[in-house]
Chains A and B, each alone.
Chain A
Amino acid sequence: GQNIDQPTEMTATEGAIVQINCTYQTSGFNGLFWYQQHAGEAPTFLSYNVLDGLEEKGRFSSFLSRSKGYSYLLLKELQMKDSASYLCAVMDSNYQLIWGAGTKLIIKP
């Protein structure tokens, strides 16, 4: 079956760095997405990886290793507003998105 695994919850300190991991097993692969979702709001797009390696975008970076079925989202210089759920999603061979359950990130001052 298809499966996306990511930690349920993580806690980090304001100003620090946090890495949210995502492992996946899907039928085919057409890219991996990271989304941020604040409580009561719709998800917002953060990053898209289809090739191995690191994609950097400001304070956020996303890494992909297709051979390992693994990705991480790296958040630097954490701010209180980064407290949210972070969703990992993989697009399979049918171009359908398989979603992880999300990682709730709690930022403490």
Chain B
Amino acid sequence: GAVVSQHPSWVICKSGTSVKIECRSLDFQATTMFWYRQFPKQSLMLMATSNEGSKATYEQGVEKDKFLINHASLTLSTLTVTSAHPEDSSFYICSAKDSRDNSPLHFGNGTRLTVT
């Protein structure tokens, strides 16, 4: 079945540094990818919608200059958390929609970010 690879699965970084998270669709083309954030015991929160070749659409309250999203190809989207702070520590999950109509959304395994 369709697989979405998210890397790294966990990362620890120091406050003030930047972290890049990659999301790849391995066996299908994804014109649209989504980035979510999830706090413990809470539901998914959509951060942004990433469309290949165009600027990402950010949800209200999400700082686009802090969470940089690049979707340069049909199989790769990246999320860069810039100048990370401890409050950015969270579980970040990407998902990708197969370009074919009515196909399900496939999720990566998530990235656990801890900012010290």
Contact = CB atoms under 8 A, between A and B. Distances in A.
**Closest CB pairs A-B (n = 7):** A42-B110, A42-B107, A101-B43, A45-B104, A42-B93, A102-B43, A42-B109
Interface string B68-106: 000000000000000000000001010001000010111
A50 B102 contact: yes
Contact of B49 (A42, A50, A96, A99): A96
A2 to B, nearest CB: 12
5 contacts: A42-B107, A42-B110, A43-B44, A95-B32, A99-B43
Interface of A: 30-31, 33, 35, 40-45, 48, 50, 87, 89, 95-97, 99-102
Tell me what chain B mostly uses at the interface: helix, strand, loop, or mixed: strand
Tell me what chain A mostly uses at the interface: helix, strand, loop, or mixed: loop
Contacts of B109: 41-42
Contacts of B97: 95
A97 B49 CA distance: 11
